[in-house]
Structure 1
Amino acid sequence: MASGLLLGMTGGLAVTTALPAWHWVADTTALQILRSGARAGVVGGIADWFAVTALFRRPWGLPIPHTAILPQQKDRLGEALGRFVATQFFTEADVTRALEKVDLPRVIADTLRDENNMQALARTLRLTIPGLIDQLEDGRAVSALERALPVLLQGEDTARLAARSLRALVDSELHQEVLSFLLAKVKSALQKREPILREFIEARVREQGGRVLGWAIGASVAGRVLSALNMELERVDPRDSSLREGFTVWVRKEIDRIEYEPARRAQFVGAVSSVFAHDSLRAWSSELWVRLRNMMQEDLARDEGWSAAVINAGIEHLVDEMASDGALRNRIAQGAALAARRVLPTLRDKLSHYIASVVTRWDEAEMAERLEQRVGRDLQYIRINGTLVGFLAGAALDVISRLFFGVMP
């Protein structure tokens, strides 16, 4: 369209010039005004064609100065574009306004409610923890454990989190594994110490019933007592036993009391804190840390381990708190805004360098072609406007010259 309009102006100039010159028509004032407008339109169209073309390439391939501007200034263009995007679109005010419009705690909570996302986060945490443990192997772990445990165990939130973690263990039937472990230890101890227990029971029978009676029935009483004890342990051992079900009911009831009864919660926190604050435990802290580390590393590798259950329970607790606790929501929002402001200068700098590096890697001809495809169509309107404005300006100047000076320009 732009080129056609320029050719039209050129044709108009040729016609308005040739017809009077060949005496086919009289050279009237109207024809002269049209000729002046067409001449100016041709000049304006050619000038704007040159300007638009000079942005992307050398016109006709000629080495004219200040042409092919964009390819030759590619590096400077990339740097300027990077600075512009980084400084104009990533200001602190823009980021603050964007964060204010987003309910970040609710977005995080809704994201973590998805089972796949929650499991992905849990797996990431489980993979991260061993690395953190390795970083603490310089002796800081023991002292940190001594200082952190009493602090962590204080407060109602810790007790509630512990209750939820214990409930997750019960839901996973891991408490039955603990009970089975204890029963196995008790049975093993009874078997190893059965002769000692028999002698103890026989001695007590002789002490209470006399030497003769004790000699007569002591062995029988000891055998019955040990047999009854073994029978009771056997009754507990099956997974579907009523005693195990009773144990589960009792554990759940105690967990509920820890979570919902302030007095029981205080007792739990006090008991656990007193254990970890005991001098003997402090003395064994090194050995405790080694055992704890090995146990954690082994359990973290298991998808059904107690650490996975604890981490899942912690994430669920965090999700519930983010949805309901206004103070926590405010802390998360403020923390996100503070983190964004701190990282923003570095982010802007990296973004600016990234954009500049991308533009620098472009081939000059490829970059010119890409830009021309994006904005070249709009730039053609510069040529159209230049041609039309040149025609109108030339015709107007001709009229003004005739009106004020009586001659054409």
Structure 2
Amino acid sequence: MQKENQANLALAFSVLGAIGTAGQGNSFLLTTVHHGFLAATIGGLADWFAVKAIFGRPLGISHRTDILRRNRTRIMDALVSFSSDDLLSRDNIMQVVEREQIGTLLMEYLEHRGGRERLVNAAVEILGHIASDVDSRHIARELTPYIVRALHDLPLEDSFVEFLSVLAEYPHAERIFNLLIRMGHRILQTQAFQELLRENIASIRTEYERDGMIRAFVLSFFDDETIASWFTTRADEILQTALDPENRRHIDGVEAFGAFISGISADSSLRDILYHYKIRLVQNIDLEAIIANFIDTRIQGNHPFWLPYVKELLNDKVDRFVHSAAWQSRADRWVKDLISAEIEKHHELVAVFVRDYLNQKSDDELIAFLERKIRTDLQMIRINGAVVGAIVGIGLSLLVTLAERMWGL
């Protein structure tokens, strides 16, 4: 049963009790009970009138009633002041915030509440939206002049000459020489080289035999296939011995290769050649199209190159945060300082919000709103008024009766 119904029932019971016990002056008990019911009725009616006077005009009486409507401005000021200066004051809010271990809460959320996945997915989604909104053509057009200027200023020719100087040094020169020898060995075995070799042998034979019959007679003992096989075998033997570090052919070959590379790097015209080649290359390359294509395919595409790196970075940072009490402590302090600074800057918004919310309501809406919030507690006042009135009425009746009998004595 609602409190208002209970209060009405208590008042009705008091009225009926007072009526039912009226005129029983010969009975001490009924007289005492009558005075209790009568006092309960008076107390209940008084409290009913007081409660009703807060929200309206009971029995049409306008004097000192309808308190909320007549005192709206003062009540609103009190509500706003209570909300901003007492209930949600800076100190009260920060006391609640300081009691929380925000760093530990963040760690629990990231490790055990699915926060890690949400954080990574949110970051990837945000970066994806940012990347998708990039105008690749505009960015490429803006970046191209800077890249061209950087390539012009980049001393690639000096770096290349230095690179050649390093290659001319013994360990590198020997490795490159061995690599070239192995490549030559593989080339000797290819069908294309063998066919080319036979074609050249045939051409040389024709040219050689043109000068005399004796030469033609001598060469008739060797066909092109035999000559090609002999040349291939001999060249292969030379290449194999050139791979032996102890063989003189290998030592001379490495020295010759190193000297060749050194000679190229020491050529004064090499830098100019490389510089002009770099300039022509930069001018002929459509850098704007290359940059735009890179943005379209590698940054904005379905599988952007940055995606795995971002996920790895975020997961690594989350792991470090989860396993570091120092990081959690710093995060806790940072969040609390941030909250404190924001509250300090915007605390007046609490009063503004409460006042705006109350101003949006008409007098009737505001009264109905407040009545819903405190109606139950006010009905308890009516119930307590009836109960206390009954007790006081019975007590006073007993005291009067006792005083009369003592006076009569």
TM-score by length of 2: 0.51
Aligned to 2:358: 359
Deviates more, 1:385-394 or 1:315-324: 315-324
Change (3 A) 1:100 1:124: closer
2:67 and 2:133 map into 1 onto residues whose CA distance is 55
In structure 2, the gaps of 5 or more residues are 1-5, 139-145, 147-203, 209-289
Q: Quick one: which of 48, 68, 89 aligns to 1:87?
A: 89
Q: Quick one: which of 121, 128, 131 aligns to 1:119?
A: 121
- The Cα of 1:128 is off from its aligned counterpart by 5.8
Q: Quick one: which of 1, 11, 18 aligns to 1:13?
A: 18
On the 8 A contact 1:71/1:364 being kept in 2, the answer is: no
Q: How does 1:307-318 map to 2 (within 5 A)?
A: 307-318=306-317
On the 8 A contact 1:33/1:395 being kept in 2, the answer is: yes
TM-score by length of 1: 0.51
- The Cα of 1:303 is off from its aligned counterpart by 4.6
- The Cα of 1:390 is off from its aligned counterpart by 0.6
1:332 and 1:101 map into 2 onto residues whose CA distance is 6
On the 8 A contact 1:302/1:308 being kept in 2, the answer is: no
Q: Quick one: which of 86, 91, 99 aligns to 1:97?
A: 99
On the 8 A contact 1:78/1:360 being kept in 2, the answer is: no
Percent identity reads 19
Change (3 A) 1:362 1:81: farther
Aligned residue for 1:94, secondary structure, equals helix
Change (3 A) 1:377 1:106: closer
Amino acid at match of 1:62: I
2:128 and 2:398 map into 1 onto residues whose CA distance is 86
Change (3 A) 1:404 1:95: same
Residues 260-285 of structure 1 deviation map (CA, whole Å, 9 limit, x = unaligned) = xxxxxxxxxxxxxxxxxxxxxxxxxx
Q: How does 1:230-245 map to 2 (within 5 A)?
A: none
1:101 and 1:9 map into 2 onto residues whose CA distance is 60
Q: How does 1:128-147 map to 2 (within 5 A)?
A: none
Residues 224-268 of structure 1 deviation map (CA, whole Å, 9 limit, x = unaligned) = xxxxxxxxxxxxxxxxxxxxxxxxxxxxxxxxxxxxxxxxxxxxx
- The Cα of 1:44 is off from its aligned counterpart by 0.6
Aligned residue for 2:64, secondary structure, equals coil
On the 8 A contact 1:82/1:353 being kept in 2, the answer is: no
Aligned residues: 257
Change (3 A) 1:85 1:380: same
1:65 and 1:338 map into 2 onto residues whose CA distance is 50
Residues 64-107 of structure 1 deviation map (CA, whole Å, 9 limit, x = unaligned) = 32434278436335414532441289521210112358432342
2:13 and 2:90 map into 1 onto residues whose CA distance is 44
1:375 and 1:87 map into 2 onto residues whose CA distance is 23
1:316 and 1:117 map into 2 onto residues whose CA distance is 9
1:321 and 1:52 map into 2 onto residues whose CA distance is 61
Higher-Rg structure is 2
Change (3 A) 1:294 1:357: farther
Amino acid at match of 1:2: A
Deviates more, 1:361-370 or 1:71-80: 71-80
Aligned-pair Cα RMSD in Å: 4.5
Change (3 A) 1:125 1:81: farther
